[in-house]
Amino acid sequence: MKKVENVFSAPELHWVGDGFPAKTLFSYQGMGKRVSPFLLLDHAGPMSFSPSEHIRGVGEHPHRGFETVTIVYHGEVAHRDSTGEQGVIGPGDVQWMTAAKGILHEEFHTNDFAKSGGKLEMMQLWVNLPKRDKMNTPKYQEITEAQIPSVILPDDKGALRIIAGELDGLKGPASTHSPILVADGEIEATARYTLPIADGWSALVIVREGKVKVNGQVVSKERTIILSQSGEGLEVEAIDDSKLLVLAGKPIDEPIVGYGPFVMNSDAEIKQAFTDFQTGKFGNLARI
């Protein structure tokens, strides 16, 4: 089994724009290759919003060198980007955006959600790209809840949705650039399940709700457990009814240099990203 290396508590809430009250559950800043190929995870909400004529969200901003994965649990999010893609994702849906060589996008609550108000909860994961793919053409994948297969846990005590990667013969719909597993779901109290995570892979478990044991370590709500890359297997045992996000992947053995919305392999590439953004090479959101 993989060994428990760290358990992190969520820091204080911060706002992303005026629509997403987020806590950063882990970041490559300080954790580096221990969480590779993942870079960062923000948990937005859960928070209730009052009805409003004002559409909350985060306006136009750039990314280069990685992918953003947005998983909605409650509420609705509208996306628009400089490649011409746009869409709305609601509960259970996923937006997988490959920024690659550069993209501008915006994310807002939908008009309907703003007017009705309600509970908002989502996760946004940043996934690093290998150097060979960092300057590829940007891509957008909109994945509906109906497209995501689920592994039913023993004795029907929960299920894990396979968003990316493969588990128990089921393959997630997301197209990825390196071998990873992204799975979320629910597990009932007393249930136990072992995921066959490979030796050499990173592995993380994030508890959205409840309390579980991961390879013997108790982990509760809004905590992230990081396991060793050495060893095989990840066992989850539910103490309470719980909701989880499980991340695993083959580390990308390359330098990680990031600044704000750009993650590349060198300082020179970061400087070039700023130059390209400032000179309009990321496209123009206003033309859509």
pLDDT tens, 135-179? Answer: 999 999 999 999 999 999 999 999 999 999 999 999 999 999 999
How does residue 288 score in pLDDT terms, banded at 50, 70 and 90? very low
3-state secondary structure 2-22: CCEEEEEECCCCEEECCCEEE
- For residue 261, pLDDT beyond 80: yes
Which of helix, strand or coil describes residue 147? Answer: helix
Q: What share of the chain is helix, strand, coil (3-state, %, to 5)?
A: 15, 50, 35
| pTM for this prediction | 0.96
Half-sphere exposure of 282 (CA within 13 A, CB side): 25
Q: Which residues contact 271 (CB under 8 A, 6 or more apart)?
A: none
Which CA distances in Å does 185 have to 16, 53, 224, 285?
A: 25, 33, 15, 35
pLDDT tens, 268-282? Answer: 999 999 999 999 999
- For residue 10, pLDDT beyond 90: no
Question: CB–CB of 225/35 below 8 Å?
Answer: no
pLDDT at 286: 64
Quick one: tokens of 22? 């987020």
- Which residue in this structure is represented by tokens 């509970």? 119
Quick one: tokens of 266? 């060198």
